[in-house]
Amino acid sequence: MSLLPQCSTPTAYVTVWTGAAPPRDNGTAPKGTFFMSMKNSRDFTSLPLHRLLRPAQLILVLLRSLRRVERRCRRDFIVLLGTHVRVPLFERRMLKRAGARFVLAPPLLPGVPTADKLWIWRLLGNYSQCLVLDSDVMVLQPLDDLFGRPEEVTIAHHPYDTVQAQCGIPLERRGVAAMIVMRPNATAFEEYVGYVQRRLHGREQLMYADQTGLMCYFGLDRTRTLPCSYLFDVANPLLSPGEAKWKGNCLRLLGRHLRMQCLNGSSQQACRPAGGVPATCRAVLDHLHGQCEWRRVASSVRAVHFKGKVKPWPGLPGHKCRRVMHGPLRMQGGAAGDGGSAVSALDDLEWAANASQPEGGAGVCVSGSTRAPVFWARGEGKPSTAEMVAVPRKCCHLHTLLSAEWNGLLTLSVFGGSNA
């Protein structure tokens, strides 16, 4: 990754680390952390970066993915670090070496870590604009065009949010705080925090202070909502847990969810979805199919969000998909013994049930664009065709493709790449 000149305008990328603790002295993980131990993973003990705290892994990949796609100039990368978070020295040094700069931030609203990113308005006043990205985002294409826009807030799209309807925000304009462009301003910070404390009066509502609050406070005239392709949610209901399951959960739980998130105090009637629950669930699915379907937007996707429980690390030892830790998947090349080329993260995977495997089995995992068979990477370079292991049916889906890309960025320095 080449070192670009510093951007002439004072802009920065920002992410937040406020909700994790380091492992205990004996190496075990305290309850509630993201720490992953690899002691029992015989096949992957050569991958030391997989031993990092999960927040450190996420931040490192986010930073490297940004550096990989920068085109014109290089921006500062700020980690807004909670004053209560203890970061082990190795993780801190590793992130600093990669180019991260730490800025300390106390808890803004006790018990509501999502609100801590609002400190950006006050603590980073030396920047004209900041692109705030959740640490579980991986950038795939340049984001330079997000800077310099005139709106006070530019925000990624939340295609299945239902709470923001209470503030008159139509479905196509609802935002998610995993990607926001903000202009630091101490006065705006004080006014907005006061608004949040008055308007989002309960803990359930305060958990969304960074997106519901922003959209309700700034409204339609002072915000711009990006298309789904700018930040594609890997937990999209069309992918996970699946459209039918999501629809069933929506019909069963939406009313209760909106009562808990009611922004209108005791006026529960005002918090019920217009047209009823079935119509609301149906409208969301129609919107997803029309605007946020992977095949429809993949070529223009700028970044992906491993939202919620859909994370890019593999399961327990022995899990069929653990080979994602070796990095980007590969397609078989035409020449004998050729290990092939990497599968683009903007592709997709499909199971070709009628294809025959070389060893005689039925069905092959193939690239959605080229229909070429897809194999796990080995990490140490291009393997020969004889060494290539086919991706099994259980792992033949978009999550695997994106997770393999993420793991390739995480282990970049292990396999001879750049640390930046």
Residue 70 — pLDDT band, cuts 50, 70, 90?
Answer: very high
SS (H, E, C) 354-399: EEECCCCCEEEEEECCCCCEEECCCCCCCCCHHHCCECCHHHCCHH
User: What average pLDDT does range 249-260 have in this prediction?
Assistant: 91
Would you list the domain boundaries of the chain? 11-240+286-305, 322-410
Kindly tell me if the per-residue pLDDT of 43 is higher than 70. no
Please report how the helices 54-69 and 89-98 are oriented relative to each other, as an axis angle in degrees rounded to 10.
10
CA dihedral 125, 128, 134, 138 (to 10 degrees): -140
Sign of CA dihedral 205, 209, 212, 217: positive
Residue 413 — pLDDT band, cuts 50, 70, 90?
Answer: low
pLDDT above 90 covers a percentage of the chain that reads: 61
Predicted confidence (pLDDT) per residue in 324-363, tens digit? 998 999 987 644 344 578 899 999 999 998 876 655 567 8
User: What average pLDDT does range 205-209 have in this prediction?
Assistant: 80
**pLDDT for res 177:** 94
- Is 14 in contact with 132 (CB distance < 8 Å)? yes
* CATH C-level class of 11-240+286-305: alpha beta
Q: Of residues 38 and 374, which shows the higher confidence score? A: 374
User: What average pLDDT does range 373-389 have in this prediction?
Assistant: 70
**Alpha-carbon span 147 to 149, nearest angstrom:** 6
Report phi then psi at 156, rounded to 5.
-70, 160
**Alpha-carbon span 91 to 97, nearest angstrom:** 10
**Alpha-carbon span 221 to 132, nearest angstrom:** 21
Report phi then psi at 134, rounded to 5.
-60, 150
- Is 105 in contact with 94 (CB distance < 8 Å)? no
Residue 266 — pLDDT band, cuts 50, 70, 90?
Answer: low
**pLDDT for res 209:** 85
Strand ranges inside 229-329, DSSP E: 231-233, 303-305
In the block, residue with structure tokens 């308005």: 121
| Residue 373, burial from CB neighbour count under 10 angstroms (0-12, 13-18, 19+) | buried
Angle (CA) 281 282 285, round 5°: 90
In the block, residue with structure tokens 């709470």: 163
**pLDDT for res 339:** 56
pTM value is 0.89
**Alpha-carbon span 82 to 116, nearest angstrom:** 8
Q: Return the structure tokens found at 67.
A: 């550096």
Predicted confidence (pLDDT) per residue in 119-132, tens digit? 999 999 999 999 99
Amino acid at 406: W
Residue 185 — pLDDT band, cuts 50, 70, 90?
Answer: very high
**pLDDT for res 24:** 40
**pLDDT for res 49:** 72
pLDDT above 70 covers a percentage of the chain that reads: 81
3-state secondary structure (DSSP) of residue 409: helix
**pLDDT for res 198:** 82
H or E element at residue 103: strand 100-105
Kindly tell me if the per-residue pLDDT of 228 is higher than 90. yes
**Alpha-carbon span 396 to 419, nearest angstrom:** 30
**pLDDT for res 260:** 83
Give me the DSSP letters along 280-294.
HHHHHHHHHHHH--H
Runs of H (alpha helix) within 261-315: 277-291, 294-297
